[in-house]
């Protein structure tokens, strides 16, 4: 079991619950040094490293490998799961996985930030 930081479509409870098989506790979290960019012609973001940027999202705790397999399939070939550290509201840093947009697909990204409000 590992923690997972989500920052895009998986912030939607409807989407999250349609993929995973268990209930997981969660907290709000921020990921420093990364940016969430719009993907051209799509309604989902790509997460990339970017100095000085911060991405708000949610951390899910102790996600089972079975569910990670389903989440990997949902994210698809454009993303790679990577370990990062997020900051909780309590100022605690927590290790977790997140899905980064793969460099070979960077040409699909716009310069604009992706917003959850536009998605929901």
Residue 20: inside a domain: yes
State the residue range of the domain holding 40: 2-115
Residue 105: inside a domain: yes
Q: What is the pLDDT of residue 119?
A: 66
Q: Which residues pair with 87 in a beta bridge?
A: 30, 93
pLDDT, tens digit (0-9, with 9 covering 90-100), for 15-35: 999 999 999 999 999 999 999
- The model's pTM is 0.95
Q: How many domains in the chain? A: 1
Residue 120: inside a domain: no
The residues near 119 (Cβ < 8 Å, ≥ 6 apart) are 8, 9, 12, 43, 44
Q: What is the pLDDT of residue 115?
A: 87
Q: What is the pLDDT of residue 118?
A: 66
89 CB burial (10 A radius; 0-12, 13-18, 19+):
exposed
Residue 88: inside a domain: yes
pLDDT, tens digit (0-9, with 9 covering 90-100), for 57-78: 999 999 999 999 999 999 999 9
CATH of the domain at 41: 3.10.490.10
């Amino acid at each position: 079991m590992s923690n997972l930081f989500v920052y895009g479509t998986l912030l939607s409870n409807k989407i999250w619950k349609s993929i995973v098989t268990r209930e997981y506790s969660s907290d709000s979290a921020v990921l420093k040094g990364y940016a969430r960019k719009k993907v051209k012609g799509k309604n989902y973001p790509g997460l990339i490293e970017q100095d000085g940027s911060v991405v708000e999202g949610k951390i899910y705790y102790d996600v089972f490998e079975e569910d990670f397999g389903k989440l990997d399939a949902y994210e698809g070939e454009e993303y790679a799961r990577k370990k990062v550290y997020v900051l909780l509201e309590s100022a605690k840093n927590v290790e977790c996985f997140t899905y980064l947009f793969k460099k070979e697909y960077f040409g699909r990204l716009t310069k604009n930030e992706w917003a959850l409000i536009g998605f929901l």
